[in-house]
A and B are shown apart, each in its own frame.
Chain A
Amino acid sequence: MVDDQWDVILIGAGQNNFALGTYLGMAGLKTVICESRLENGGRLASEEITRPGYWHNTLAYFQNNRAVSPVWQELDWDNGHHAEFVSPPVISSLLLPDGQSISHHQFLEDTLSFVAKFSRKDAIRWCETHVKFRQIIRDRLIPYYYNQPGNQEIAAKMAEDDAGKEFKRLWQMTPKQVVDELFENDAVKTLVLSQMTIPRGVGMDYPGGGIEVLKMIAGDEKPELARGGSHSIAQVLQRAYVHNGGQIRAVHHVEKILVEEGRAAGVRLRDGREWQARLAVVSSTDPYSTFVEMVGDEYLPRIFIDRVKDIQPDEFSYFQVHLALKAPVRYALHEANDPAVGQAMNVNMGPEKPDDLDEMWKEIRAGEFPRHVCLHAICPTAFDPLQAPRAKHAASLFMPVPFQLKGKKPEDWVKLKNGFMDGVLNIWRRYATNLTDENIEMKVAMEPFYIAGRWPNMRRGSVWVARKVASQMGELRPIEELANYRTPIEGLYQVGVATHPADAVIAGSGHNCWRIIKQDLGL
């Protein structure tokens, strides 16, 4: 079979292209996904990096908003393709050094009862905020995410009443400002702010980051661990895609997007083969790779190329520690004071007050390995035993760090990582009472240089590809010219985390781009 002619060529085997490819396949088109890595799924990765049988999630470790996602339903990912999840009752617990803790629960009443321990007033504010905005998030924000950002109807609806206007006002503020406006207690503020950078990708002083605070307080958030590990979500998406006629080519590195008469006509692979795309080429990699490297300057307006080059990456990257354990991580003192800690998906340690997070950000911006750490620990096997061998456990720790340490080259991380890992483990041990050498069968650190090398779209370890600041969100994500997934090259589309809605919901850009392509191709 000569496989050099396709209707649509999709670059990158991540969630967005899987969804988009499935829609295209259902419409009867012949598509292929070219993935430069061997493994599909992008950030939906689970690997045996410590010991065989321990599956560690090496970037995305939970998924959210499944119930409100039209894609899940439309593509039948749950029933048709066997997606399975477990949902821990406590979303996150912030541990304080004195043995106290404060937790964010799936159920509002539970969160409130914990917040009230610290401040009755804050609990009331939390409750009010939740009640005020819950419906707006459901009815306006989620549709906003699952539509192209320029949709006027949705924009009009967003601010149609006072609550909507208030919502927009808070949205545009920084997380810090919103928290300061809503709450008085440091622990409550820190609980919220500690969730901003990991996993939500915003700095405390990012304008437009206020939305993440609102989602945390008022959204129907139901974080779920994919049974077996995050990568099983990728497998589900892949099954649906192939089931609908899609083809996947691993280790097919697209070197060039071929442009003929101003139209994207196909791709050239690293090994020199050329494939023709009759209708469209879709790239889910980062815009720099798509335009500067794959398309090339000669086909694009100077000003556009400059703007692509000016897209701001994240200011932080991830440092990770993965442990193969005999026993699940226990926080004996904190659990004794508050059993919720033992049921928390995400355990945060380090910051006690918002200032600590300010300090952390100063250190990150100065290129230092933070002394004011913000640790995110998970022990998925406490909820899903399938992620480790029987009666064994896997745990992971994530923390924001700079991509490049001051005075060092990015590759110096490889030499430095084990030292940092031991330092971070010592901090973790102040809270986790059973992380003894005896309990740890194997430990492995992963650092920003590794992230950048493994996922070529995450340049400089930038997990969100384009920084989630107001000037790069919504209709401006990542730049105005690309906000509707169309590009200056006819027949070439850009999706992925760099585009709206920045993976705020699963396969958002894939779903939205499908609508655009459907329109453009008259399907």
Chain B
Amino acid sequence: MFKSSKFKVGQVQNRAMAKILEYDGVVIGAGHNGMICAGYLGKCGQKIMVVEKNMEVGGGLDSHEDRNYPGFWHNIHSVFHRGLMMLPWYKDLELENFGIHYYRPDPGVVHHFLDGSYLGWFADVKKTAETIARFSKKDAASFMDLWTRWQPVVQKIVFPETYAVPLPFEEKKPLLEKTAEGREYLRYFETTPGDFVVDHFEHPRVRAFLGFLGVMRGYELDAPKTGYLIPAMIAWGVNPQLCRGTSHALGDNLAHMMSHNHVDYIEANGVERILVEKGRATAVVLEDGTVIRARKFVASNVNPVETFIKLVGRENLEPSFADLAANFRFSKTTPIFAVNLALNERPKYITEERFPEVAGAFMHIVGLEEYQELVDLFDDCRAGRLPRKPFMNGATPSYHDPTQAPPGKATAFMWQLMTYNLWGNPLNWDKARSQWSQKQLATWRRFAPNLDDNNILSMDSTTPLDIERHDRNMYCGDWMIGEYSGDQALENRPFPGWGQYRTPIEGLFLCGSSCHPGGNITGAPGYNAARVIAESLGIKTWWHPLDFREHLKGLA
């Protein structure tokens, strides 16, 4: 009478039939670049689907609630955003309508030294120079000179180039030579960031400060053809800003912007395959078997190794191109070991006793006493060993944005740039985690003695391996998503000859940080890719992208 009828062991029940969806375009990866790219094209009237592997959209715009104490939010990846509100996509996509708010603490950066002195970066450049002058008058003069000389270079060349499709060097060189700013740009083009800093500054602490500010952006000290980025950074200004409600709020707001513009997105369902038919990208297949047809294009926000080797497959590529993709280099020096604290009270730095103005600083640098230590870190990272001496940059987000901690409490974090491939195997991170986090905390404590056991409610850490585990785009824990060096920069990013967001597969584009101008929250790769895609589809752009060639001609 009660015989089981339908139930059989091992039978896959209720599995939904593989779905087939169809869109004009599919964007792989809902990091900020992918969402920006989709937003622009969605606003063109294209029907777009963005597919995200993680449960949360935002990529590096990620934050977690403390696992021991509720109400404390930790920014897991990106924190220091630079002037987003003046960027073209922020205005074009009307992001201010979605409730984003940025705090601009001043000073933006304070580099503490053990003797109680500091170097600081202020909104007012003269104050910055004053802190440098305490160490070296000559360096302060050199700093002001670069700042002044490079203002027009940044405004007329570096900034426009960031938000434009890059030109091949041979093509832009003659145009640059025609203007004073262009010649200034070319003057330092060949050098490395490290050489630039050493050539222009004498004091080991000033060198350390400026060198580290570049390095923490993902620049490599010894990478050729990226030295010009240091004077550009000086003139552009290092004024980091903090997103209200943690960085993830920007990710959420970009998602709202997409919904608002009728762009669809799904999360927790990664792309497994890009289907190529007759040399053209026509669809993607998701983890659960869903097929999304792309009538017009597929844009990949993930790195070229993942895009080409894993998703497209060598069988669809010229062997020489497949090798290019497979050999794309990830940085050995950008991965981060993060210590996140939930605190009863904010860290109080010894420097505050003599200089009360540093208490309100956004970024705090501790442990780096001279330039040589930065050079040593590069050696340690590349050799796959722990740094011989911890030095870190971090912040106290709740000081500026009280929503990130319960009332009266505080959150703070410190990041150590670190090797991914620890002792030859990244899995060693699971063993080394707790010891290293104690070491990092001990260093931090020397600068902020109130970080004692009574003050610390909860301490958590993220290893370079965790970065990769969380975000499959960040191979080797590299949040720059590809080493930023001459042969992987500008028109050569990701590869020489393929630096314009296009790929050998028709209808397949790249729109992520592996393209010009690289990692960080700039939105530029997504912004520039949207233009390239729109042009290749023959769609009139409703915004006004800059043509860098015409722009340079105009300057001349």
Contacts and interface: CB of A to CB of B under 8 A. Distances in A.
Given A47-B64, A52-B469, A232-B268, A248 B256 contact: yes
23 contacts: A38-B73, A38-B249, A47-B64, A52-B462, A55-B268, A86-B15, A90-B7, A109-B3, A110-B4, A116-B1, A232-B268, A238-B259, A242-B256, A243-B262, A247-B98, A247-B99, A253-B403, A339-B9, A386-B269, A444-B67, A451-B70, A453-B70, A454-B70
B196 interface: no
Interface in A221-251: 227-229, 231-232, 235, 238-239, 242-243, 245, 247-251
Contacts of A454: 65, 70-71
Contact of B245 (A231, A251, A389): A251
Closest 8 CB pairs of A and B: A228-B268, A52-B470, A453-B70, A251-B245, A454-B70, A242-B259, A251-B403, A52-B469
Interface residues of B, dominant DSSP: loop
Interface residues of A, dominant DSSP: mixed
A89 interface: yes
B69 interface: yes
Contacts of A386: 268-269, 287-288
B306 interface: no
A88 interface: yes
B55 A46 contact: yes
A249 B4 contact: no
B2 A123 contact: yes
Interface string A89-120: 11000000000000001010110111110001
Interface in B450-491: 462, 466-467, 469-471
Interface size class of A (residues with CB under 8 A): 35 or more
Contact of B288 (A38, A84, A105): A84
A378 B98 CA distance: 37
Given A82-B264, A105-B7, A1 B2 contact: no
Contact of B55 (A55, A123, A452): A55
A87 interface: yes
Contacts of A114: 4
Contacts of B248: 38
Contacts of A451: 70
B68 interface: yes
Contact of A242 (B10, B56, B244, B260): B260
Given A38-B73, A84-B16, A454-B70, A229 B268 contact: yes
Interface string A1-33: 101000000000000000000000000000000
Given A52-B469, A90-B7, 15 more contacts: A3-B97, A51-B469, A84-B16, A84-B269, A88-B14, A110-B6, A227-B268, A228-B267, A231-B55, A232-B267, A247-B97, A249-B99, A250-B245, A453-B71, A454-B70
Contact of A48 (B2, B403, B467, B470): B470
B267 A235 contact: yes
A53 interface: yes
B55 A232 contact: yes
Given A227-B288, A343-B9, A52 B466 contact: yes
A296 interface: no
A247 B2 contact: no
Contacts of B471: 52
A453 B73 CA distance: 13
A107 B268 contact: no
Contacts of A252: 99
B3 A453 contact: no
Interface of B: 1-7, 9-11, 13-16, 55-56, 63-65, 67-71, 73, 96-99, 244-246, 248-249, 252, 255-256, 259-260, 262, 264-269, 287-288, 403, 406, 462, 466-467, 469-471
B63 A86 contact: no
Interface in A38-61: 38-40, 46-49, 51-53, 55
Nearest to A411: B69
Given A49-B67, A55-B55, A113 B4 contact: yes
A342 interface: yes
A232 B53 CA distance: 12
A239 B259 contact: yes
Nearest to A87: B14
Nearest to B56: A231
A115 B15 CA distance: 26
Q: Which one of A115, A235, A340, A454 has the greatest number of beta carbons of chain B within 10 Å?
A: A235
B70 A89 contact: no
Contacts of A46: 55
Contacts of A238: 255-256, 259
B67 A251 contact: no
B244 A251 contact: yes
Given A247-B98, A250-B252, A450-B70, A39 B2 contact: no
A389 B469 contact: yes
A107 B287 contact: no
A340 B266 CA distance: 32
Contacts of B467: 52
A391 interface: no
B33 to A, nearest CB: 20
A156 interface: no
A3 B99 contact: yes
B4 A109 contact: yes
Contacts of A51: 466, 469
Contacts of A3: 97, 99
Contact of B249 (A1, A227, A250): A250
A115 B11 CA distance: 22
A414 interface: yes
Nearest to A322: B67
A453 B406 contact: yes
Contact of A89 (B5, B7, B244, B269): B7
B470 A53 contact: yes
Contacts of B268: 55, 227-229, 232, 386-387
A162 to B, nearest CB: 26
